[in-house]
Amino acid sequence: MNMTQREELMKTLHECMEACNYCYDACLQEDDVNMMANCIRTDRECADFCGYTEQALARDTPFAEELLRACAVICRACADECRQHDHDHCKYCAEKCEKCEEACLAFTA
Amino acid sequence: MNMTQREELMKTLHECMEACNYCYDACLQEDDVNMMANCIRTDRECADFCGYTEQALARDTPFAEELLRACAVICRACADECRQHDHDHCKYCAEKCEKCEEACLAFTA
Amino acid sequence: MNMTQREELMKTLHECMEACNYCYDACLQEDDVNMMANCIRTDRECADFCGYTEQALARDTPFAEELLRACAVICRACADECRQHDHDHCKYCAEKCEKCEEACLAFTA
Amino acid sequence: MNMTQREELMKTLHECMEACNYCYDACLQEDDVNMMANCIRTDRECADFCGYTEQALARDTPFAEELLRACAVICRACADECRQHDHDHCKYCAEKCEKCEEACLAFTA
């Protein structure tokens, strides 16, 4: 992974973290929060892990591959959860998670 | 803060982090999640910050006082939220948050 | 704090987190690491806390003011440490920390 | 993983996090910090990830297996690094990392 690739990957992780945290916040304000319980949970997991991974990349962690492998699985699960809901914040989050999963997988061959 | 005091404080922060995460998890499984939305939110905030603060103390952070001052406010708010609910996990969490607030304040005079 | 202000603040925190992690990584590769021990330490503290605060803002934490107050102190300390060294990464980091301290203080009046 | 196993695993992760942070702090105060640069780095990586994983388990994360798989690799690397040094804090840290690696692997078959 060269510097440009790392910057790009960090940006993708960051956008995913923001989308997940935004979706988490919005889910907690929905009329029917029961429906969103799993989405709240996966949003938090995905936001926290993308944020963690991005910061680890920023310090050039020697464990990028391990982190990205786990991150891809978490992003996939969060996308799958968000895809089940019609809220705009869920659709947007699913897109960002899918993009992030793809970016992570590119470095874990 | 001597070594024994630090160990004791870390233990208190840790128990609060566990109680908050447990309450968060339980709230998301309640019959009426809408009622618990604010509790879910403060549980996460409090769990994350207590966990952060404990880890910072473990590496002898030079910023203990700043972290503990913020931590006390967050624990107080989480206790106040949990006190509004009758679930056992909320009552237990409120107790741990109050104990943790008190422990934090003892080092921020 | 409105949406635009929040976005701007998150960007500033993010740049500070990146600069601190970059400086941390570079300090560990310097010829004289002994000279950089305190800088390594404050870089980590500042990077971790700016990253934490940014993520908390991303989920619209109710505790922004408490976090920003602590963050300003940590950024100030990291800037003061970095100002004592002539390495480019330290100078750059000091600039980002000072900018971040200022941004944090603007919301903690 | 039942409740007792989870508690046990969290305790092991916690002891590893503490040992790594203690070793990190002690390495930064050694006479020859250059010799310890890699140890400082892996200590931080391992402390942060063990702390993260423990907190995720505390909220019953659905991604335990992914986290534990990555955690085992990081603990192994930190143990290998610490084994190269004669300081008591390094030897102690290596023991805790090896114990933690083993505990993680038990749940990632």
Q: Is residue D92 a contact partner of residue D46, using CB atoms and an 8 Å limit?
A: no
| Cα C102 to Cα D16: distance, rounded to the nearest angstrom | 37
Query: Would the pLDDT of C107 be above 90?
Result: yes
Query: Would the pLDDT of B109 be above 80?
Result: no
Question: Does the beta-carbon distance from B69 to C73 stay under 8 Å?
Answer: no
D86 close to C (CB below 8 A) = no
Read off the pLDDT band of B3 (50, 70, 90). confident
Question: Does the beta-carbon distance from D25 to B51 stay under 8 Å?
Answer: no
Listed by start position, the domains of chain B span 3-105
Q: Which of A31, A32, A40 sits opposite B40 (nearest CB)?
A: A40
Residue A68, pLDDT score: 98
Residues of chain B with C-beta less than 8 angstroms from the C-beta of C70: 63, 66-67, 69-70
Residues of chain C with C-beta less than 8 angstroms from the C-beta of B69: 66, 69-70
Q: Give the gap in angstroms from C-alpha A100 to the nearest C-alpha of chain C.
A: 17
Read off the pLDDT band of B89 (50, 70, 90). very high
Residue D3, pLDDT score: 87
* CATH class of the structural domain D3-105: mainly alpha
Query: Would the pLDDT of B93 be above 90?
Result: yes
Query: Would the pLDDT of C63 be above 80?
Result: yes
Read off the pLDDT band of A25 (50, 70, 90). very high
Residue C109, pLDDT score: 72
Query: Would the pLDDT of D109 be above 90?
Result: no
| Cα B3 to Cα B7: distance, rounded to the nearest angstrom | 6
Residue A3, pLDDT score: 87
Query: Would the pLDDT of A109 be above 80?
Result: no
Q: How far is CA A87 from CA A81, B28, B29, B40, in A?
A: 12, 19, 21, 20
Query: Would the pLDDT of D27 be above 90?
Result: yes
Read off the pLDDT band of C3 (50, 70, 90). confident
Residue D35, pLDDT score: 96
Question: Does the beta-carbon distance from D33 to C33 stay under 8 Å?
Answer: yes
Residue A1, pLDDT score: 85
Q: Give the gap in angstroms from C-alpha A106 to the nearest C-alpha of chain C.
A: 23
Q: What percent of chain A has pLDDT over 90?
A: 96
Q: Give the gap in angstroms from C-alpha C31 to the nearest C-alpha of chain A.
A: 18
Q: How far is CA C51 from CA A48, A92, C66, in A?
A: 11, 23, 15
| DSSP secondary structure letter of residue A2 | -
Query: Which has the closest alpha carbon to A89: A14, A24, A16?
Result: A24
Tell me what ipTM this predicted complex has: 0.94
Please state the rounded mean pLDDT for residues D27-33: 95
D62-105 tens-digit pLDDT: 999 999 999 999 999 999 999 999 999 999 999 999 999 999 99
Question: Does the beta-carbon distance from C32 to D32 stay under 8 Å?
Answer: no
Q: How far is CA C17 from CA A59, B45, B97, C68, in A?
A: 10, 20, 29, 14
Please state the rounded mean pLDDT for residues C30-38: 96
- The chain C residue lying nearest B71, using CA atoms, is C66
Query: Would the pLDDT of C101 be above 80?
Result: yes
Query: Would the pLDDT of C22 be above 90?
Result: yes
Query: Would the pLDDT of D55 be above 80?
Result: yes
CA D108 to chain centre: 16
Please identify among residues 41-80 of chain B the ones whose CB lies closer than 8 Å to any CB of chain A: 41, 44
